[in-house]
Amino acid sequence: MNSEIKALFEEEGYSIITDESETSGDDEKGASGAALLKYGNGYSLPSGEGKKVPESLPAEKTHHKKAEILPFRAPDKGDYDIPTIVQYLNWHMNRINENVIGRDDIIRQAFFAILTGEHMLLLSRTGMAKSYLTNYIFNIFEGARIFSAQASKDQTPDNYFGPYNIEEFKKGKIRHNIKGSIIESNLVFIDEFFDASDVVLRSLLSVLNERKFINGQEQIDVSIHTAVATANYMRLNEVTEAVLDRFTYKSIIPEDNNLYSQLLIDHTYRLNKGKPVEPERKIFFDQVLYLSDIVRNNNKDIKIEISDYIYFLKNVVVNKFVSEMRKIDGNFFVSPRKRAKLSDLLRAYALTKNRRHAERDDLRELYLALCTLNSHVSSAVNAKSEKDIFLDAYQQVMIHFDTTGANQQIQLLLNIRKVFQELREDPEKRAIILKKKGFVRELRDILMKIFPAKRKNDNDEITIESLKKNVFDIDPAVEEVRELKDGILKDYQDLY
């Protein structure tokens, strides 16, 4: 490499690693011997763009080609650069949006399915590019084991879990040869999903949800991270209803007769012949697993916090949405499993915004998991999408709680509940807990907003009795506050 160029980069703090470098290791050299730029603990692309990927970088609507640029990869988990990985994910999402026309929300949904380690179901008529979209998304990852199958009624579980191991069978043991099967795969694509028999679908239940393959004494941990299933129709029975609940994210791909959208589709087809474009930048799948561990709260060192206030509002919004949906569909139901998994979506959204905490406005994004996108419901007076109904419910809750003062009441009650819980867990530290500066200051501020007539002296001592009185004195602004108040009084009555 030219010494002047090398000196120029080194002045900016970069180290340049080439085939001639003394350093060895697959993570530090491209397969073709191209130079990598190393800055601090992270790596950047040899194109010289550095660690940032411009948000405005246009999608490459070019002919099918091999990747020419080595994927971004940190050398080990301790050196993962989370903002950079997030930038790459956002860049890929924007790129796919420009190449798969009119699927913005569905593409966002798919990316959150992967970040949260959940599964996705795509429904549409034939020829709506379901497979094309799935392959486009899976194609951005390097190092992921992918399993693809087209379901049919004639298939048996062996088509998914591998054939029986003959040698083990001769010994009287029933074992599957799992090499190359769904069990070893990270990303799974099953086309024509509902063409599969109920026997096959039932066998997929524990694999999709518990990530375990159970066949008598044979029990194997499954590597599946995210599965995408596509179908042209949906059949409902006890088996399919249970399987459907395993798909946290669901979408219907609508027919789009907009002439401008059709023009864009013609352009992309002319360039790409209906095949996903090989991306110039791929993301190593272990980086996605690293982010997913953070999102699912499995990382010991990095946590994305969700306060009790956000948890409480999440449940209020979900209840409001379910109530509105049942006015149209009396059987509408959100399972406790899905309600709990909404927290992972909140953490994932915060992570994509480079935050370590969830905010109230993030609750708006819950429609991605709660709703079947592009699914319209009708009543005698209107016809709305599930997304529209959710956004209306969300907006109504936020406005109502802001105007009635319910937010301050909720924050006060949750702060007092937190103290009660600490006192229950460690009663010997009562004096220390009740005199925490941060807690005392926050509590006094909230009390001034709720009870402006009762001015608190900064020297007034906070006791269990005074906290109990504050709870009793609250006149709930909304029914949800009443339920919270009654729950606290009942749950912590042993402290009084």
Q: Measure Cα distances from 212 to 100, 208, 317 in Å.
A: 34, 8, 33
CA-CA distance, 491 to 489, in Å (whole number)? 6
Q: Token digits for 258?
A: 């907009």
* Dihedral over alpha carbons 181, 184, 189, 194 (to 10 degrees): 60
Q: Token digits for 244?
A: 């459907």
Closest to 315 in 3D by CA, of 296, 297, 293, 340: 340
Give the per-residue pLDDT at 24: 42
* 65: DSSP letter: -
Do 213 and 219 form a contact (C-beta atoms < 8 A)?
A: yes
Q: Provide DSSP, 282-349.
A: -EEHHHHHHHHHHHTT--SS---B--HHHHHHHHHHHHHHHHHHHTT-TT----HHHHHHHHHHHHHH
Task: Give bridge partners of residue 271 from the DSSP assignment.
Answer: none
Please state whether beta strands 187-191 and 226-231 pair in parallel, antiparallel, or not at all (unpaired). Answer: parallel
Residue type, 367: Y
* Dihedral over alpha carbons 252, 253, 257, 259 (to 10 degrees): 140
- H/E stretch holding 400 reads helix 386-404
Give the per-residue pLDDT at 85: 93
Task: Give bridge partners of residue 42 from the DSSP assignment.
Answer: 39
- Chain mean position to CA 169: 41
Task: Tally helices (H) and strands (E) across the chain.
Answer: 19, 15
* 176: DSSP letter: B
Q: Token digits for 425?
A: 């867990």
Dihedral-angle region of residue 262 (phi above 0 means left; psi in -120 to 50 means alpha; beta otherwise): alpha
Q: Give Rg (Cα) of the chain.
A: 27
- H/E stretch holding 214 reads strand 212-215
Do 439 and 429 form a contact (C-beta atoms < 8 A)?
A: no
Residues 453-478: b if buried by 16+ CB within 10 A, e if exposed: eeeeeeeeebebeebbebbeebebbb
Helix (H, G, I), strand (E, B) or coil at 112: helix
Tokens 């026997």 appear where? Answer: 199
- Ranges of H-type helices in 23-103: 82-99
Give this prediction's pTM.
0.79
Average pLDDT across each block of 10 residues of the chain; the chain has 496 residues. List them in order: 50 46 41 38 38 40 34 51 92 91 93 96 91 93 94 91 74 75 94 93 87 80 94 86 89 90 88 83 93 95 95 97 92 91 97 96 97 79 84 97 94 89 79 64 67 56 79 92 94 78
Residues making up the chain, counted from first to last: 496
CA-CA distance, 170 to 156, in Å (whole number)? 21
